[in-house]
């Protein structure tokens, strides 16, 4: 493997570097097949057409406020409400599409979901003893916010069925150190990076446990509308009767990322207390005014226009992409099965019922160095699960994103991965290089 | 004054509340004349027309990258470069309009200037001993970021000609306490809230002092393109030969706020060191990836399209608004002169050569309570300079924004202010209520 010599030796680096690695790697290897980033499929973007619907949103606004269209356009172009202007439309959309009942006044529109994560973590963890509970591996956008703000993370690794037990143990350990478990972060539907879905029973167990201990659950759900098969599990926000779940959503996957529109839905009665629900939304709003003033009203108007023309729901809009993602997943599964037919005892993968990712498990440790060899010498970009890990444990797993690749590239990329794995297995002691 | 009874008693509140006060007050008193917020004049917004230019920007991008227009549209709608996509156009615009020479690679596109402030303060002040130097009164967006992130502010008050001396004294005091002066924040052109402009001599003195002590100067310049008269002073970034000035700009005032597009221009050689310039831009980029991923590529495209169609400069676009602001300032000055003709010994104001604000000085203390009385009983919204102050000193000054009001409202609002001042002066011991 010539790549061992030409690839510069690199430690796995801090978690803070990984987001940049993800963002920049496609530019570094333009000829490589990328299974690295969970980007939505571009062939469904209609940005030019969507821009043309903005005037319809403005006419709607003018009607609501009983003013002229020109005035409504100018109000849109101006500074505006910190919490957003399409809150009512968002409340309706998540009611229709996700069965979530949240008053518009408890919704904060954010610059993508990332801003909501930043505001929530920094807003809820103000004391140095406050700790964020996360499953490892964990979405980098969350761990990055914690690291940037020096907020302590308490990670735990466990099977998808044993989350509540692992959480209980982690909370006890955190409390034993005199720290305060403040927040539990979860992607219950088609987790990034693992693709896992939490069962209803697990969700209810987690809610009961966190409600009793005043731990806020942050439910991040970017992929929930992309279920291809199997029975849908209600969101934790919808199951919550205690007011302990804050729900985060984004229009980056369902419409397009360039809008940078996401939101946080805060319970009206936090832990049963209406005052506390108001206090949290107000605190987030105050913080937002110093981070971004308000979310672009132009991009909010694009979302608003689409929601108006779609009768409030995104279900019709996501039908095409969802079908494409299902086909891509099936194709990737078929190519994996064919490529690794003779290695089924050593190479494995899961079959996610939705979302953008599947997880490949190799018979050797796969970290940054191996990812660089794949990119350099085999022309295929993938993300080691170690990038998302919070401990130093060895990890043989690789995240494969299939959301924004063509059938040809899926075939080609899996073949490249196959060549890498075979070469690596032929090289004695390969994994000791990691 | 009936308002004294009906207005609830309110302390001046924390600085963190003030941004919300500013954002929400217009909604609370819809019938009042507002001189409160420095919003750009809406009659020059052409958002509908500007949206129509996005395809021209996309065609330009397609040509640059030698791809099809549909592909370029999809790339625009997708996730993208953390540092932005219009950096080259921004570099050209500030070269043409501001005489600033900054390579495109040293520019970070941000979600309005507020995000740039947030990233710079949190990025540069990582140690608990790091202190931000500010003139008091100071723009709330800056002090709010510091307060939210518990970054210590070292404020100083002084005449516009004595800034360097006051800074020197403050730095000595900070260092004597074992703290590290890390950053000096300034709005050298048409300061918010005071409207003041720093002379070239003062700017050069500050640059020499800060360069020698490795203090980063953050030059925030939202109003620089709105000079009505008098000789332009070069920006501190343009005067800087040491690489100690980071320049912040925004398109909120020159185009419109709904875009939420601003930028930071970082010196290529920070304090003479090319590596340090690269390190700072990379650190800001990394932090940005966890705050907002990237600035909306759609709103960047609107800015890009306008810059392309305007041959790279905003000078033609701001000519109309600048003339309106000059007329508004003149009208406000004339009404102040007429209204307070018999009180010229007691009531005073400055004559700013540009920008959005002037400062009225009253013969009694004017704080939050007085602002509420003005709003409630006289129907005029203004901002006490005490809202922007960092100490507890009494302040008799009021900020009047004239950027987004009609001639009729200027006449009406100044008359209302006149009635308030006369009533207050008739009430013995009025200022003792503050």
Paired residues of B270 in beta bridges = B273
Nearest residue, CB atoms, A299 vs list B39, B42, B299: B299
Q: Which two tokens stand for residue A134?
A: 């996360």
Only one residue has tokens 């703290």, namely B179
- Average of pLDDT values for B178-197? 97
Give the Cα separation of B323 and B305 in Å (integer).
Answer: 24
Give the whole-angstrom CA distance, residue B60 versus residue B54. 10
Closest Cα in chain A, distance from residue B18 (Å): 9
Confidence of residue B229 (pLDDT cuts 50, 70, 90): very high
User: Is A391's pLDDT higher than 60?
Assistant: yes
Confidence band for A23, pLDDT divided at 50, 70 and 90: low
Q: Residue B137 belongs to what H/E stretch?
A: none
Interface of B with A in 24-43 (CB under 8 A): 27, 37, 39-40, 42-43
Instruction: Give the per-residue pLDDT at B10.
Output: 30
Confidence class for position B429, pLDDT limits 50, 70, 90: low
Please, which residues bridge with residue B34 across strands? B381
Question: Given an 8 Å threshold on Cβ–Cβ distance, is B144 in contact with A290?
Answer: yes
Does any CB of chain A come closer than 8 Å to the CB of residue B173?
no
How are beta strands A152-156 and A130-135 bridged, if at all? parallel
Q: CB contact, 8 Å: B243 with chain A?
A: no
- Of B111, B122, B259, nearest to A298 by CB-CB distance is B259
- What was the pLDDT predicted at B28? 81
Whether pLDDT at A1 is above 50: no
Indicate yes or no: CB of B47 within 8 angstroms of CB of A74. Answer: yes
| Among candidate residues B144, A25, B271, the one with its CA nearest the CA of residue B280 | B271
pLDDT(A383) > 90? yes
Q: How far B154 CA lies from chain A's nearest CA (Å)?
A: 19
Q: Do A290 and B80 touch (CB under 8 A)?
A: no
Evaluate if residue B3 carries a pLDDT over 50.
no
Average pLDDT of the residues of chain A = 93
The H-or-E segment that residue B182 falls in is strand B180-186
Question: What pLDDT digit, counting tens, does each position of B256-278 carry?
Answer: 999 999 999 999 999 999 999 99
pLDDT band for position A22 (cuts 50, 70, 90) = low
Q: Which residues of B151-178 are buried (b: 16+ CB within 10 A; e: fewer)?
A: bbbbbbeeeeeebbebbeebbeebeeee
Residue in A20, A37, A298 nearest the CB of B289:
A20
DSSP labels for A4-68?
HHHSPP-----HHHHHHHHHHHHHH-TTSEE-SS-PPPGGG--HHHHHTTHHHHHHHHHHHHT--
The predicted structure's pLDDT at residue B16:
58
Q: In what order do the strands lie in the sheet with B397-401?
A: B348-349, B357-361, B397-401, B383-384
Q: Which residues of A touch B299 (CB under 8 A)?
A: 296, 298-299
* pLDDT surpassing 80 at residue B7: no
Q: Which of B74-88, B272-286, B388-402 has the lowest mean pLDDT?
A: B388-402
pLDDT digits 0-9 by tens, A312-354: 999 999 999 999 999 999 999 999 999 999 999 999 999 999 9
Residue from the list A37, A47, A79 with its beta carbon closest to the beta carbon of B73: A47
H helix or E strand, kind and range, residue A419: helix A407-426
**What whole-number distance in Å separates Cα of residue A47 and Cα of residue B323?**
36
**Phi and psi dihedrals of B181, rounded to 5?**
-65, 115
pLDDT digits 0-9 by tens, B10-32: 334 556 566 666 666 667 888 89
Strand order in the sheet with A216-220: A107-111, A261-265, A245-250, A216-220, A180-186, A130-135, A152-156
Closest-CA distance, A19 to chain B, in angstroms, reads: 7
Environment class of B342 (CB within 10 Å of its CB; exposed 0-12, middle 13-18, buried 19+)? exposed
Cα–Cα distance between B147 and B112 in angstroms, integer?
Answer: 19
Terminal-residue alpha carbon distance, chain B: 15
Q: Distance, in angstroms, between B228 CA and closest chain A CA?
A: 23
Interchain proximity B54–A51, CB inside 8 Å: yes
Mark which residues 324-343 of A lie under 8 Å from B by CB. none
Nearest neighbour of B286 by CB, restricted to A16, A118, A260: A16
In the predicted model, what is the mean pLDDT of chain B? 93
Those residues with Cβ within 8 angstroms of residue A352's Cβ, 6 or more apart along the chain or in another chain: A190, A195, A196, A197, A329, A358
Kindly report whether the peptide bond that precedes residue B137 is cis, defined as omega within 30 degrees of 0: yes
Question: Does B45 touch chain A if contact means CB atoms closer than 8 Å?
Answer: yes
User: Is residue A7 over pLDDT 60?
Assistant: no
DSSP state of B44: G
* Over residues B139-158, mean pLDDT: 95
Cα distance between residue B281 and residue B14, in whole Å: 32
- The predicted-structure confidence for B322-345, as pLDDT tens digits, reads as follows 999 999 999 999 999 999 999 999
Distance from CA of A124 to the nearest CA of B (A): 12
Residue B6's pLDDT band, with cuts at 50, 70 and 90, is very low
- Position A394 scores a pLDDT of 79
Could you identify the residue written with the tokens 């996360």?
A: A134
Partner B contacted by A376 (CB < 8 A): no
Local structure of B365: helix, strand or coil: coil
- Residue B227 pLDDT class (50, 70, 90 cuts): very high
Question: Which chain B residues contact residue A74 at CB under 8 A?
Answer: 42-43, 45, 47
Cα B339–B340–B346 angle (5° rounding)?
Answer: 165
According to the model, what pLDDT value does residue B431 have?
A: 54
Closest-CA residue in chain B for A262? B292
Closest chain B C-alpha to A200 CA, distance in angstroms: 31
Identify any residues that bridge with A359 across adjacent strands, giving them in sequence order. Answer: A399
Instruction: Return the structure tokens found at A43.
Output: 């062939």
Question: Residues A323, A325, A326, A331: is their CA dihedral positive or negative?
Answer: positive
Mean pLDDT of A179-192: 98
Q: Among residues A154, A155, A156, A150, which one has the least CA distance to residue A126?
A: A150
How far lies A64's CA from each of A68, A89, A156, in Å? 10, 13, 49
β-bridge mates for residue B219, sequence order:
B186, B247
| Shortest alpha-carbon distance between residue A233 and chain B (Å) | 29
pLDDT at residue A37, rounded to an integer:
85
The pLDDT-based confidence of B412 (bands split at 50, 70, 90) is very high
B-chain CB neighbours of A20 within 8 Å are 82, 285-286, 289
Q: What is the pLDDT of residues B358-377, one digit of tens each?
A: 999 999 999 988 998 999 99
Contact with chain B for residue A128, Cβ under 8 A: no
Q: Which of B137, B250, B254, B37 minimizes the C-alpha distance to A82?
A: B37
- Please state whether beta strands A180-186 and A130-135 pair in parallel, antiparallel, or not at all (unpaired): parallel
Q: Look at residue A130 in the predicted model and tell me its pLDDT.
A: 98
Model confidence band, residue B197 (pLDDT cutoffs 50, 70, 90) = very high
Q: What are chain B's domains?
A: 3-43+316-433 (3.90.1150.10), 50-314 (3.40.640.10)
Which one, of A164, A187, A116, lies nearest residue A354 by Cα? A187
Is B118 close to A291, i.e. CB distance below 8 A?
yes
pLDDT of B30 reads: 82
Identify the residue with better confidence: A373 or B20: A373
* Contact assignment for A293 to B114 by CB distance below 8 Å: yes
Contact B249, B86 (CB under 8 A): no
Q: Is there a contact between A141 and B290 if contact means CB atoms under 8 Å apart?
A: yes
Cβ contact A263:A107 at 8 Å: yes
B419 CB neighbour count, 10 Å cutoff: 15
Question: What sign has the CA pseudo-torsion B425, B429, B430, B431?
Answer: positive
Give the B window 89-118 contacts with A, CB below 8 Å: 111-112, 114-115, 118
CB-based contact B148 A51, cutoff 8 Å: no
pLDDT at B73: 98
Residue B31 confidence (pLDDT):
87
Q: Does A144 touch chain B (CB under 8 A)?
A: yes
- Cβ contact (<8 Å) for B115 and A76? no
What is the structure's pLDDT at A4? 28
Q: Extract the runs of DSSP E, i.e. beta strands, from A76-204.
A: 107-111, 130-135, 152-156, 180-186
Counting every residue written for chain A, the total comes to 434
> Chain B partners of A76 at a C-beta cutoff of 8 Å?
47, 258
ipTM of the complex: 0.94
Cβ–Cβ under 8 Å, residues A123 and A176 = no
The β-bridge partners of B133 are B154, B184
C-alpha distances (whole Å) from A414 to each of A26, A362, A382, A386, B26 are 17, 13, 11, 20, 58
pLDDT tens digits for A91-128? 999 999 999 999 999 999 999 999 999 999 999 999 99
CA A153-A158-A164 angle, to 5 degrees, is 80
What residue has token string 């269209």?
A69
Distance (Å) from the C-alpha of residue B426 to the closest C-alpha of chain A? 38
Q: Which residue of B has its CA nearest to A114?
A: B292
pLDDT at A15: 60
> Quick one: tokens of A217?
């659950």
Contact B293 A114 (CB under 8 A): yes
B292:A115 CB<8 A: yes
Q: Which residue of A has its CA nearest to B24?
A: A81
* pLDDT on residue B192: 95
Q: Is the pLDDT of residue B402 over 80?
A: yes
Q: Does any CB of chain B come closer than 8 Å to the CB of residue A130?
A: no
Interface test with B, best of A28, A79, A253 (most B CBs within 10 A): A79
């Amino acid at each position: 493997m010539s790549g061992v010599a030409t690839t510069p030796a690199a430690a796995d680096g801090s978690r803070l570097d990984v987001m940049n690695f993800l963002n920049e790697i496609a530019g570094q290897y333009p000829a490589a097949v990328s299974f690295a980033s969970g980007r939505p499929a571009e062939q469904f973007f209609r940005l030019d057409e969507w821009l043309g619907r903005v005037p319809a949103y403005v006419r709607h606004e003018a009607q609501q406020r009983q003013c002229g269209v020109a005035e409504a356009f100018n109000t849109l172009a101006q500074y505006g409400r910190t919490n957003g202007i399409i809150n009512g439309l968002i409340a309706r959309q998540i009611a229709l599409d996700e069965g979530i009942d949240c008053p518009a006044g408890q919704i904060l529109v954010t610059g993508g979901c990332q801003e909501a994560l930043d505001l929530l973590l920094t807003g809820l963890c103000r004391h140095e003893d406050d700790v964020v509970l996360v499953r490892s591996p964990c979405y980098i956008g969350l761990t990055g916010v914690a690291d940037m703000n020096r907020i302590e993370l308490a990670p735990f690794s466990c099977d998808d069925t044993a989350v509540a037990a692992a959480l209980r143990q982690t909370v006890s350990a955190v409390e034993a150190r005199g720290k305060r478990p403040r927040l539990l972060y979860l992607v219950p539907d088609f987790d990034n990076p693992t693709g896992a879905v939490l069962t209803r029973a697990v969700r209810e167990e987690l809610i009961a446990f966190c409600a009793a201990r005043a731990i806020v659950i942050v439910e991040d759900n970017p992929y929930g509308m992309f279920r291809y098969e199997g029975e849908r599990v209600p969101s934790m926000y919808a199951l919550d009767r205690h007011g302990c779940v804050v729900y985060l959503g984004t229009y980056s996957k369902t419409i397009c990322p360039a809008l940078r529109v996401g939101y946080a839905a805060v319970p009206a009665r936090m832990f049963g207390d209406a005052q506390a629900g108001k206090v949290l939304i107000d605190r987030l709003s105050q913080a937002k005014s110093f981070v971004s003033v308000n979310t672009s009203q132009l991009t909010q108007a694009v979302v608003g226009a689409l929601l108006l023309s779609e009768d409030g729901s995104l279900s019709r809009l996501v039908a095409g992409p969802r079908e494409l993602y299902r086909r891509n997943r099936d194709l990737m599964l078929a190519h994996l099965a064919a490529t690794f037919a003779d290695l089924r005892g050593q190479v494995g993968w899961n079959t996610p019922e939705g979302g953008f990712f599947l997880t490949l498990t190799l018979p050797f440790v796969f970290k940054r160095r191996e990812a660089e060899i794949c990119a350099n010498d085999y022309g295929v970009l993938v993300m080691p699960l170690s990038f998302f890990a919070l401990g130093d444990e060895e990890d043989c797993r690789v995240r494969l994103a299939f959301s924004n690749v063509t059938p040809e590239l899926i075939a080609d990329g899996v073949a490249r991965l196959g060549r890498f794995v075979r070469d690596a297995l032929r090289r004695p002691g390969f994994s000791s290089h990691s």
